[in-house]
Amino acid sequence: MLLRAYRLSDKLGIILLKLIAGLTEQTLSGLLILRRGVVGILRLLVAPIDWLFSRVFRLSGRASNVMVRGAVGAAQTQMARRAARREIDKTVVEDPLRAQNRRLSLLAVALLAALVGVVLWATNPARTPPALPMINIDQAAGSLGETPQATAPNAVAALPTQVPTATALPPVLAVRGTIAFTVRENGQTDIWGLPIGSRNPIRLVADPTDDRDPAWSPDGRRLAFASHRDGNWEIYIQDFIDNSITRMTYDLSFQAAPNWSPDGQWLVYESYLGNTLDLWYVRVDGSQPPAVLPGMSSAPDFSPAWSPDGRRIAFTSWRDGNQEIYLFNLNDQELVNVTNTPLRNEDYPSWSPDGAQLAFSAFDEGIEKVFVLDVDTPGAVAQVVAGGRAPAWSPDGSSLVYATDSVASQQTNLIAAPITDPGLITSIVPAPLGASDPAWTGQPLPPAVINAGAQRVLFQPLYNEQEAPRNADPAYTLRSLPSVEAPYAALSERVNDSFNALREATAERVGWDFLSTLQDAFWDINRLPEPGEERRNWLMTGRAFGINRNAIVGFPAPIEVAREDIGINTYWRIFVRVADSAQNGDLGEPLRRMPWDFQAREQRDVQAYDEGGRLRQQMPEGYYVDFTQLALDYGWERMPAGSDWRANINAVNYWMFRKTDGLDWFTAMREIYTEGSLINFAPTAAPTQPGLTAATLTALPPTPEGSN
- pLDDT value at residue 452: 81
Closest among 324, 283, 279, 337 to 304, alpha carbons compared: 279
Lowest mean pLDDT among 154-163, 317-326, 505-514: 154-163
Residue 159, pLDDT above cutoff 80: no
Higher pLDDT among residues 277 and 431, named by residue: 277
Q: How far apart are CA 389 and CA 437, in angstroms?
A: 9
Mean pLDDT of 333-341: 95
Mean pLDDT of 159-163: 39
Residue 486, pLDDT above cutoff 50: yes
Question: Starting from the edge strand earliest in sequence, which strands make up the sheet with 436-441, in order?
Answer: 202-205, 188-195, 178-185, 436-441
Vertex 692, ends 689 and 694: CA angle to 5°?
A: 135
- pLDDT value at residue 228: 96
pLDDT in tens, 86-99: 544 444 444 555 65
Contact by Cβ (8 Å): 539, 525: no
Taking each helix axis from N to C terminus, what angle separates 32-74 and 96-122, rounded to the nearest 10 degrees?
120
Please state, as a whole number, how many other Cβ atoms lie within 10 Å of the Cβ of residue 705: 15
Please spell the DSSP secondary structure of 457-499, one letter per residue.
EEE--S--------SSSSS--EEE-TT-BSTT-EEETTTHHHH
For the chain, give percent helix, strand, coil, nearest 5.
25, 30, 45
Higher pLDDT among residues 239 and 107, named by residue: 239
- pLDDT value at residue 56: 40
- pLDDT value at residue 24: 52
Peptide bond into 208 cis (omega under 30): no
Please spell the DSSP secondary structure of 147-183, one letter per residue.
S-SSSSTTEEE--PPP-B--SPPPGGGTT--EEEEEE
Mean pLDDT of 7-24: 56
Residue 36, pLDDT above cutoff 80: no
Mean pLDDT of 149-177: 54
**Domains of the chain, each with CATH number or no CATH:** 2-127 (no CATH), 155-160+176-459 (2.120.10.30), 478-698 (no CATH)
Contact by Cβ (8 Å): 617, 582: no
Mean pLDDT of 336-359: 96
Mean pLDDT of 47-60: 46
Report the run of H or E that residue 624 belongs to, with start and end.
Answer: strand 624-626
pLDDT-based confidence at 637, cuts 50/70/90? very high
- pLDDT value at residue 672: 96
> What is the number of alpha carbons within 13 Å of residue 254 lying toward its C-beta?
28
Residue 688, pLDDT above cutoff 50: no
Closest among 128, 53, 138, 64 to 96, alpha carbons compared: 53
- pLDDT value at residue 163: 41
Q: How far is CA 291 from the centre of its chain?
A: 37
Q: How far apart are CA 105 and CA 50, in angstroms?
A: 12
Residue 613, pLDDT above cutoff 90: yes
Phi–psi pair at 374, nearest 5 degrees: -80, 100
The sign of the dihedral angle between the CA atoms of 657, 661, 663, 667 is negative
Question: Starting from the edge strand earliest in sequence, which strands make up the sheet with 389-393, in order?
Answer: 389-393, 399-406, 411-418, 426-432
Residue 506, pLDDT above cutoff 80: yes
Q: What is the DSSP letter of 445?
A: P
Q: Is the pTM of this model over 0.95?
A: no
- pLDDT value at residue 112: 62
- pLDDT value at residue 200: 86
Report the run of H or E that residue 33 belongs to, with start and end.
Answer: helix 32-74
- pLDDT value at residue 420: 80
Lowest mean pLDDT among 17-26, 468-477, 522-531: 17-26
Lowest mean pLDDT among 259-268, 277-286, 455-464: 455-464
Contact by Cβ (8 Å): 104, 12: no
The sign of the dihedral angle between the CA atoms of 529, 535, 538, 541 is positive
Higher pLDDT among residues 162 and 474, named by residue: 474
Cα dist from 29 to 18, 22, 366, 630, whole Å? 16, 11, 59, 75
- pLDDT value at residue 408: 77
Contact by Cβ (8 Å): 697, 488: yes
Cα dist from 548 to 514, 520, 531, 551, 649, whole Å? 9, 8, 19, 6, 14
Taking each helix axis from N to C terminus, what angle separates 79-94 and 32-74, rounded to the nearest 10 degrees?
160
Mean pLDDT of 10-16: 58
pLDDT-based confidence at 73, cuts 50/70/90? very low
Closest among 478, 480, 503, 481 to 492, alpha carbons compared: 478
Please spell the DSSP secondary structure of 578-599, one letter per residue.
PPGGGTTTTS-B---SPPEEGG
Residue 487, pLDDT above cutoff 80: yes
Closest among 90, 84, 100, 86 to 10, alpha carbons compared: 100
Strands 367-374 and 383-387: antiparallel
Residue 62, pLDDT above cutoff 50: no
| pLDDT, averaged across the chain | 81
Mean pLDDT of 535-560: 96
Q: What is the DSSP letter of 540?
A: G
